[in-house]
Each structure stands twice: as C-alpha cells, then as structure tokens.
Structure 1
Amino acid sequence: MKFLNLPLAALLGLALTACNSSPTAEKPAASVPAVAQAPAAETGKKRLLFFGNSLTAGYGVEPEQAFAGLIGQKIDSLKLPYEVINAGLSGETTAGGRSRVGWILKQPVDVFVLELGGNDGLRGLPLSATRENLQGIIDTVRRRSPGAQIVLAGMQIPPNLGQAYARDFKAIYQDIATKNKLVLIPFLLQGVGGDRALNQADGIHPTPAGHRIVARTVWAVLEPLLQ
C-alpha cells in the first residue's frame, strides 16, 4: 500500500464536540520528513487525497493507526488501484487550506476528501468566511483536477459560542455539499466526538480505537466511489 505523508508541519489539537467545554487552539509541532510523490503514470494508480487538519494528520497516533492510514490499508487489502496521500496539517483553518491547496494539487487527484472548518468554528471566525474559503478550495480542486470526486467531511462544534452559531456552522456543510453536488460525510466524528473512552487524554483527538470508528464512517462513503 502506497501511503504518503506530504511535507507539512506535524500534528496538534482540533477540539470538535469534545468533552472539554472550552476550545483550545492548536499549536505547531515538529515537522515531518518530506516524502516524494511518484507520478501517477509510474505507479499506475489513481490518487486519493485527504486534505484537512490534525484529525486527518492523525495527531497522537501512528500514521497507520489514523483513519487515513486505515483507509489506505483497506484499499490495499482489496487491491484497489489507489494510493492514499495524507495532506493533513495541524492547526489548519479554511483560510490556510485555501492558500495551500494549489500547491498540494500540483499533480492531479482522482478523489479529494476535504476535512476543514473545525478550527474556524472553535475560534469563532465569521461563518461567511468559512463558507467562502471552503468554496474556494472546491473551486480550485475543480480547476486543477476537473474529473476529481470531492468528498466533504461535515463538522460540528460545541455550543460555547451560542446555539445559533453552532447550528449555523453545522449547516454550512450540507449547504455546500448540496450547492456543489458533493458527496457528504454528515459528521466525521460520529460516535467518537465527546466519548472519553475513544479520545486521547486531551479529550480532543481520537485514540486508535476512535480512529477505527472514524475510518468506518469514512469508508462507508468512499467505498462506492472507489469500486
């Protein structure tokens, strides 16, 4: 199984529907080694790219224990013609993702999984900006990889900033998926967010067991696209 971690900063906290009532900002950690991407013509495989924050990057667990790595193992076991690229970056906001997505897409992809926005919500950033940035990322993917399937991972946040803000934040994902005819994962952390047994000591990031549940949630959506 070809599993690539892009040369991005390593991993730290995204608090999404966690048991902690007060959100904490992510801090940069040590950088990870660069791993070259082989051209598709050389590997003969299509590209499945996960683009997100520390949830995607797999903070606090080994790469093969994070949900993206588990998806890669599943793909490998089924001998599907895909390589998995993990473009998760700790602390990433939608604005940051919008600024770097063009660089990430120097080579085309076939499936693009977009997991961003949680840090925007936790910081109380304007929902209009989050919506605009997510749309900008989607537009860039469609320009750079016109044939790519885009999967949008839905997010939710605790109601620290008010019920209305949390409700409107959640609605962004369904709205954008409908507008752009995207495949939607309604909530990436379904069955994991807020469960202390499935999160690390920070109450924020999934344990390996939590990532296994996330991987099942993601796989249920991805499998029909990859078969």
Structure 2
Amino acid sequence: MFFKKTTARGSGTAHRGYARLAHRLQCAIGWVAAASLMLAVAFPAFAQSAKAAPAAQPARAVLVMGDSLSAGYGLAASQGWVALTADRIAKTKPGWRVVNASISGETTAGGASRIEGELKRNKPAVVVIELGANDGLRGLPLAQSRANLDRMIVASKNSGAKVLLIGMRMPPNLGREYTQAFSDNYTALAKQHGVALLPFLLEPIATDRTAFQDDNLHPVASAQPKLRDHVWTQLAPLLR
C-alpha cells in the first residue's frame, strides 16, 4: 500500500480549511449560547404571563325545577318567564346561566325523583323549585307533596346550592281547609329549611282573566314579563 506524500502547499490549504471550520463552529456555538440565554430570560416572563391569565371559570347555574307554568306551556320557547329571566341574567349577571328543567304536567313526586340527577348534571349554585300545582289540582295528599318538596330542598342544600321555593294557591272550589293547608306547606318548608320563598307565582296576574290562555290556567305571553319581575324580587339576592 502506498501513501501520497503531503506537500507544504497541501498542508497550508488544509490548515486554512480547518481554521474556517473552527470559525464556523465557534459562530454556531455562540449562536446556540445566545439563543439559550434569550430563552432563559424570556421563559420566566412567559410563565408569569401565563400564570397571570387563569382559565375562565364556568358560569354558575340557576336550575329551575317546575311544571307547565315554568316550562312555558302554549308559548314560544323565548316567551316564558324562565326564558325572560335567562335573558336578564345574561345581560346583568355575568358568570351566570339558567337551566330550565321544567316539565309540563310535573308533580312534586316527579321533581323529587329527578332532582338528584339534575343536581349532578348541572351542579347549580341556585335551585328554583316551582312545583305543587298539579298535586293540588289532582287532590293529592298534602303530606305527600310536602315530603316530596322537602326531599328536593334537602338535596339541593346538601349539594351546596341556595334554594328559592315558589308557592302556588288552589282555587276555592277545593275547599278552604285544603287550599289553606296547601299554601301553608310552602311557608312551613321555607321556614324549616331557611330558604327564600315567593308565596304565590301568579300573584301579579291572578285576578286578570285576560292574562290567561283559554284554559284559564296558563298565562299568556304578555303576562310573562310580570311573572319574571315578580320572581326576580326573590331570585336576584341569591345571585351573589
């Protein structure tokens, strides 16, 4: 095997090549060091900025558990007092939302059977309970209705939610004793559990026949703002 002898000229060329390569390496190393220094300076500022802007908190929910009076029977979805309340909350109470879990024809027994699932699903900060009218119209035992409402209130409070109990009144043809005891249920429960009470949902329109649909039970659309304002007197203090 033969090796080619390196000339002096070849050695000089190689030396200059090595020098250029070393210079490039020094430049590259210098750039990496500079970049590292910039990152070291910038990263704490970036981390501080990220820390200063926490993720937005989910809106707190107002859960409405009601019957046809809250479900907006015979009305467009946007016309009922609950929908009107949701609009007001969206405009005046940032960070809050309304979940309407009302069902036409619902009784207190139905509400009691659904309350745990609704609480788990929606995690409300406030629960509005508007039930009992269908119990009364069917002449169901008042002790049973009270026990169902009691169960809903207790479950709501145990979940950490505030409660607004909305009462109803029965027509006089059911007898004075029954109608009085029916109304007293709401007052007694509110006092027992220390929750907010609106004694009679329909109070602002009860004596105005034109405020009701042909069935004389469900309010018309034009009456809904009055119901919204009536409920608001007790609901607004809970939205804090």
1:56 aligned onto 2:70: yes
- Cα deviation, residue 42, structure 1: 7.5
Residue 204 of structure 2 contacts residue 230 of structure 2 at CA under 8 Å; is this kept in 1?
Answer: no
Q: Which structure carries more helix by proportion?
A: 2
Which protein shows a greater Rg? 2
Higher relative contact order (CA 8 A, sep 6+): 1
Is 1:111 the counterpart of 2:126? The answer is yes
Give the Å deviation of 1:195: 2.1
Structure 2 match to 1:122: 137
Please state if 1:206 is matched with 2:219: yes
The offset of 1:79, in angstroms, is 4.2
1:75 has 2:83 as partner: no
Partners of 2:129 and 2:163 within 8 A in 1: yes
Q: TM-score, normalised by structure 2?
A: 0.74
| 1:95 paired residue number | 109
Unaligned stretches of 5+ residues in structure 1:
1-40
Whole-angstrom distance in 2 between the partners of 1:70 and 1:217: 12
Q: How far apart, in 2, do the equivalents of 1:120 and 1:127 lie?
A: 8
- Determine if contact 1:46/1:82 at 8 Å carries over to the other structure: yes
Residues 118-197 of structure 1: matches in 2 within 5 Å?
Answer: 118-143=133-158, 145=159, 147-197=160-210
Question: What SS does the aligned partner of 2:74 have?
Answer: coil
Q: Deviations over 1:124-156 (max 9, x none)?
A: 11111111110011122223x2x2110000110
Cα distance in structure 1, aligned partners of 2:176 and 2:213:
26
| SS of equivalent residue, structure 1 residue 215 | helix
Contact 1:80 1:226 in 2 (8 A): no
Measure the CA separation in 2 of the matches of 1:42 and 1:98: 33
Letter in 1 for 2:189: I
2:169 & 2:84 partners in 1: Cα distance?
23
Corresponding pairs, count: 185
Give the aligned CA root-mean-square deviation in angstroms: 1.5
The normalised TM-score by structure 1 is 0.78
Gaps of 5+ in 2: 1-54
Structure 1 residue 90, shift from structure 2 partner = 0.9
Write the deviation string for residues 42-86 of structure 1: whole angstroms up to 9, x where unpaired: 872100011010011000111211000011111112142111000
CA distance in 2: counterparts of 1:126 and 1:222, whole angstroms:
29
Sequence identity of aligned pairs in percent?
42
Q: Structure 1 pair 86/42, CA: closer, same or farther in 2 (3 Å)?
A: farther
